[in-house]
Amino acid sequence: MRRIFSIAMLIIGTMIGAGFCSGREIVSFFGSGISVFVAPVCGIIIFAACVLFLTAGAKIGEKSFDKVNGVLLGKYHFVADGFLLLNNLIVLSAMVAGFNSLCRSLVPVPVFGTVAAIVCAFIVGRGAKGMLDCNFLVVPVIIVSLAAVCFSAFKTGIMDASLGVFRFRIFPISAVYVSMNMMLASTVLTTLGKLSKKQIILSSALAAAFITALLALLITALNCTGNYAAEMPILEISSGAGKWLYVILSIVTGISIFTTMLTAVGGLCGYLEGKFAGKIFNSAVVIIAGTVFSFLGFTRVVSLFYPLVGVLGIAYVAVCAHYMRKTEKYPLLKRKKVRTI
């Protein structure tokens, strides 16, 4: 059961980074007056995507995403490798920028994001167990704190009329939104190794349920306050709910940035492992690259690059789905070929 919970917390920790926890990526994708129906639609897609990636990873049994892509796409795997590397770099740079933005009031020099990336590289050095243990401990704290801030926003008594409106455009936008989030998670979920069907289904369902609930709370809080324009809307909402709640959410936002950054660093370092000089050199390359791109700024990275990643990510999901359909339809094909030689 601990394994199931750990995997679920890893999925959640990957998704609720600076963009999710601050509300910025939700506004970037869905605009103002967000329908609460977005939450269950996204939840269903998240569950399906998690099951797909975990099942494909369990079947392929590789420990790095480039090797997984080699099985999925053969000699054309470099296309998917390049896309996932770029995605991880975009997310890493957004998290570094988000951390610096969060800590700007303490130290105007943008150093905290880089320091956090260094700590992530150290944890990644412990392998998948280090990442699972880290998320296992901190993600429940993030969930509870984020929910508390959202409930405080409900006291405003202001409710956007769009909250209960169902629009068909929710489906394609939700697919792109989930695809964007799952691209980072895919680099880890497809490399966790052998898992039972029970572990895959339960961990995916648990993660989807928590994220659905959090999305519903965040959307309701945004619509209650109408705070769509701020760089970190949810953090701005907490500032009006009391000093201590603002401090707590600032800390929690930093932790959520860290958990997503951890996955991004893990994916990049995992890809570079064995290709260059060693772990320290690889980690340094990853940290420097993420820091350089972070100078674009948090809002700019989220607004410009996240939707693009979501659109391209749908193609990667389709590739994984095609692989699973093919292997499930012809599970003994490879074995029969070996016997006839």
**Model pLDDT for residues 141-187, shown as the tens digit of each residue:** 888 878 877 777 666 555 554 555 667 788 888 998 898 888 888 88
For the chain, percent of residues with pLDDT exceeding 70: 83
Confidence of residue 221 (pLDDT cuts 50, 70, 90): confident
Look up the CATH number of the domain holding residue 234: 1.20.1740.10
For the chain, percent of residues with pLDDT exceeding 90: 9
pLDDT, position 31: 78
pLDDT over threshold 70, residue 127: no
Looking at the 3D structure of the chain, how many domains does it have? 1
Per-position DSSP letters for 86-112, written without gaps between them: HHHHHHHHHHHHHHHHHTTTT-SSS-H
281-307 residue pLDDT tens: 888 888 898 888 888 777 777 777 878
For residue 149, give its domain range: 2-340
pTM beyond 0.85: no
61-93 residue pLDDT tens: 887 788 888 888 888 888 888 888 888 888 888
